Structure 1
Amino acid sequence: MTENEEAGWVRTWGTSPQVTDAVFTDVTLRQELRISGGGRRVRVRLSNEHGTAPVTIGAARLGLATPGGGVQPGSDRVLSFAGRPTTTVPAGAPILSDPVDLRLDALSRLSTSLYLPGRVEACTGHDMPLDVGWAIPGDAVTATVLPPTAEPLEVRALISAVEVMPSGPAEVVVALGDSRVDGAGSTVGAARSWPDRLAERGVHVSNQGISGNRLLNDGMGPSGLARFDRDVLATPGLGSVVVSIGGNDLAISCAPREGGPLDDFLAMFPGDPVTADDVIAGYQQLIARAHDHGVKIYGATLAPYEGDDIFSPAGDAARQAVNHWIRTSGAFDAVLDFDAVWRDPDRPSRMREDLHAGDHLHGNDAGYQALADSVDLSLFG
């Protein structure tokens, strides 16, 4: 591959690696995903970045997915690593497959198959996957039809990105955020998060949302500040980033603690309480780091959440203070006013009833569509 080709890689799908509880032994993981922009060559990024031991990949394949977990005949490609069909990924490291020739249209649905001959614990992956996947006993990477022994996967395992060589100039928009970026509340297997919907408008998008994630403190995955270099700035073809995170920091800090199940939930989030000023300072760090790399950075206002158990008037006041700063400071290169899209005009601390998933916190399919439709495409490219 030439140097010019290497410079042309663009991430067309991504998910933020985190540690999972999944354990696998002598199994094939078949996982489907929908890319954003198309290309003429493709490579896959696997991650053992949160693993505690090396992971051996005994065989790997990539192809176009067909309904029910199958692979389209003629599209199947063997994935190799430095020319070899097997590889061992060191603990704490990612690995890129060799490129394969496979012409992909925008919004193609891919099937990846990874055979794990040994035992894998502390599997790096992604919780709450909204794409479908299966675990199949033994080496089944060549199966074009899903075997009856397959069982549904509860996590996205090992695969963290897909990159393409596009036919023309292209830039990636990275969405950095929490469950509202991840797509919680949308239809599983249908690619209906707002980053997925934005991709349908002709944009290469990498979704770096983690459900429960915070800007300032670890907990549900590394904090936004901690993972910004890996999940955003290291993205091939990066053009801009949309920051949609910080709401959990404020809601958790201000949530009522009165004993009972909510206290058990809040115990999952370590760290001292934070204020609106703390979140704003965190944004300023992201802005400086993005601008140091010549990357445009856009701030999304924090949407309302009254009606969820974690709601408090103090948390909502902090949210409103942060939103005022996002809208008026001029610190971000542009503002995406997601709060204005989702709030009930008659009760601004609540989401519109037709846009949430029944929990007053996450969007439904229509809610995420509304966010994607509100984005000004002139900000990209």
Structure 2
Amino acid sequence: MVKAGRVLALLLLLLSFGVTAPTATADAAPVLSSVWTGTWETAPSGTAPALPGAAIRNVVHTSVGGTAVRIRLSNRFGTVPLTLGAVTVALRRAGGGPAAVAGSMRVATFSGAESVNLPPGWDVLTDPVSLAVPAAADLLVTVFTPADSGPATYHRTALQTSYVAAQGEQRAADEDGTAYSAKIHYWYYVTGVDVRGTAAGSVVAFGDSLTDGNGSTTDANHRWPDRLAERLQGRRLGVLNAGLAGNRLLRDGVGPSALARLDADALSRAGVRALIVLEGINDIKGSPEASDPVAFVEAYREIVTRAHALGIRVVGATLTPYGGYSAFTAAREAVRQKVNALIRTGGVFDAVVDLDAVVRDPASPERIRPDYDPGDHLHFNDAGMRVLADAVEPAVVG
């Protein structure tokens, strides 16, 4: 057994590098006249094979801007320490691809060091990086891993093309993207970007594949949280997408359950002032299925209680239709209707957004309107995503 003194020494060493457990509390108070605010997020969904010796250039899209950035990287699902040999951040050149805007490339550090070893199950924030970041801009977050550090924590449903340089050493800081000839559609290691500036705070969209963006166009940033970010720009609010395809409210599915990942993916993020919860359809249609509406309400109440303890407002979203989907049954539809009735009238949330009402087919209310349906009768196309975002009135998120 490791002695307590050695554990304390390890924790102090990790904290000196900005390393945090994935369940850390909310970020610290404002620095001078500026505050740290989340501008982009993704929730880790599992692991993929490591790419030792490669540099992975992740493309991420901001919601609000600032004068400095810091990057959150994760070894949450890793089984051995992760060596980050180099991390860089830059603005992406207009027209897409892996090339950076000239003069925008920055090397990120960890308490002044350009590399860090990250224990399994832990996240790390880089030091602040001076870089003027616009709202609604693409960033290139490049991670070089010199060795095989075991299973790589990643987000599967990125709906975004990113790039890999096979011989990554000395390539992480390339402005020219020529070496990044391979394409991937996952986000490796990077799970968040914060900006320092005068933003009013951030809103977390917390959900499953409907929030993750399934059904929307790849490389278009048409997920409903992206569309909500567009609507909230005038209010200087960041929008963080904590959607996780396959996620469940009451039990683990793809990744930990909503209750298990709430702190890491929502409550601990920078500047969070509101949380929009769209979780539960996978519990109803999954196996084993959940059929007790009271269990849903108890879980929602726990989310609200934990958020309120940090001063975070919680908005509940009704569960959207899925008639025509392979797992649909009349019995499960009855459960969805009961859960929605409790969301609407149960007084659980600070506010309610009735997504079911804006997307259901008037001629067949158990189904999505055909013009919002990408064909699987569960998810939403770009038009449907816009309607979901438009249903969230800015006033409900504060």
Do Structure 1 and Structure 2 share a fold, with TM-score over 0.5? yes
Query: Could you tell me how far 1:40 is from its partner in structure 2?
Result: 0.8
Normalization by structure 1: what TM-score?
0.92
State whether structure 2 residue 142 is matched by structure 1 residue 107.
no
Residue 176 (structure 1) aligned with residue 193 (structure 2): no
Q: Deviations over 1:20-43 (max 9, x none)?
A: 233211100011010101111110
Q: Is it true that 1:351 corresponds to 2:382 in the alignment?
A: no
CA offset at residue 188 of structure 1? 0.9
**Count of residues in correspondence between the two structures:** 362
Matched, 1:163 2:156: no
Give the whole-Å Cα distance in 2 for the aligned partners of 1:26 and 1:141: 11
Q: 1:358 to 1:301 in 2, by over 3 A?
A: same
In the alignment, the residues of structure 2 paired with residue 342 and residue 121 of structure 1 have an alpha-carbon distance, to the nearest angstrom, of 43
- Residue in 1 aligned with 2:88? 61
- The answer to which of 228-237 and 138-147 deviates more is 138-147
Q: Does the 8 A contact of 1:12 with 1:37 survive in 2?
A: yes
User: CA 1:42 to 1:179, structure 2 compared with 1: closer, same or farther past 3 Å?
Assistant: same
2:334 alignment partner, SS class: helix
Give 3-state SS (helix, strand or coil) of 2:370's partner.
coil
**C-alpha distance in 1 between matches for 2:209 and 2:80:** 29
The SS at the match of 2:31 is helix
2:239 to 199, 202, 205: 205
Equivalent residue letter for 1:195: P
> 2:92 matched to 1:77?
no
1:23 has 2:50 as partner: yes
Amino acid at match of 2:196: M
Determine the C-alpha separation between the residues in 2 that align with 1:132 and 1:159. 14
Give the letter aligned to residue 126 of structure 1: H
Q: Does the 8 Å CA contact 1:213/1:248 hold for their aligned counterparts?
A: yes
Match in the other structure for 2:248:
214
Distance 1:28 1:38 in 2: 26
- Displacement of 1:145 in angstroms is 2.8
Q: Give the equivalent residue in structure 2 for 1:258.
A: none
CA contact (8 A) 1:33 1:132 kept: no
1:5 matched to 2:5? The reply is no
Matched, 1:246 2:280: yes
Does 286-295 or 144-153 show the bigger shift? 144-153
Q: Please give the alpha-carbon distance, in whole angstroms, between the structure 2 residues aligned to 1:244 and 1:174.
A: 11
Pick the aligned partner of 2:335 from 318, 343, 354: 318
- The residue type paired with residue 31 of structure 2 is E
- Change in CA separation of 1:311 and 1:75 when aligned onto 2, cut-off 3 Å: same
Equivalents in 1 of 2:59, 2:42: separation in Å? 13
Aligned to 1:153: 184
Counterpart of 2:11 in structure 1 is: none
Structure 2 equivalent of residue 192 of structure 1: 222
Task: Note if contact 1:197-1:372 (Cα within 8 Å) is conserved in structure 2.
Answer: yes
Structure 2 counterpart of 1:172, which letter?
A: S
Partner residue of 2:41 out of 4, 14, 20: 14
Structure 1 Cα separation of the partners of residues 60 and 228 of structure 2: 16
Residue 297 (str. 1) matches residue 323 (str. 2): no
CA distance in 2, matches of 1:20, 1:291: 32
Q: Please give the TM-score of this superposition, normalised by the length of structure 2.
A: 0.88
Tell me how far apart the structure 2 counterparts of residues 369 and 32 of structure 1 sit (CA, whole Å).
22
Q: Is the 8 A contact 1:36 1:107 kept in 2?
A: yes
CA–CA separation in structure 1 for the residues paired with 2:385 and 2:355: 10
Gap change, CA 1:148 and 1:299, over 3 Å in 2: same
Does the 8 Å CA contact 1:20/1:155 hold for their aligned counterparts?
no
| Stretch moving more, 292-301 or 275-284 | 275-284
Aligned-pair Cα RMSD in Å: 1.6
- Structure 1: where are the runs of 5+ without partners? 254-270
1:235-283 CA-to-partner distances (Å, cap 9, x unmatched) read 1101010000001101115xxxxxxxxxxxxxxxxx6744222112111
3-state SS, counterpart of residue 325 of structure 1: helix
Question: 1:3 and 1:230, CA in 2 relative to 1: closer, same or farther beyond 3 A?
Answer: closer
- Which letter maps to 1:11? G
Kindly indicate whether the alpha-carbon contact (under 8 Å) linking 1:22 and 1:155 is maintained by their aligned counterparts in 2. Answer: no
After superposition, give the CA deviation of every residue in 1:107-149 in whole Å (9 maximum; x if it has no partner).
Answer: 1110111111101322111111122212211222122232366
Q: Distance in 1 between matches of 2:343 and 2:226?
A: 24
2:163 maps to a residue whose letter is W
Distance in 2 (CA, whole Å) between partners of 1:323 and 1:227 is 23
Partner SS, residue 172 of structure 2: coil
Tell whether the 8 Å contact from 2:64 to 2:199 is kept in structure 1 after alignment: no
Which residue of structure 1 aligns with residue 120 of structure 2?
91
Distance 2:180 2:66 in 1: 34
Sequence identity (%): 40
- 8 Å CA contact 2:246, 2:254 repeated in 1: yes
Deviation at 1:9, TM superposition (A): 0.9
CA contact (8 A) 2:229 2:239 kept: yes
What's the counterpart of residue 263 of structure 2?
Answer: 229
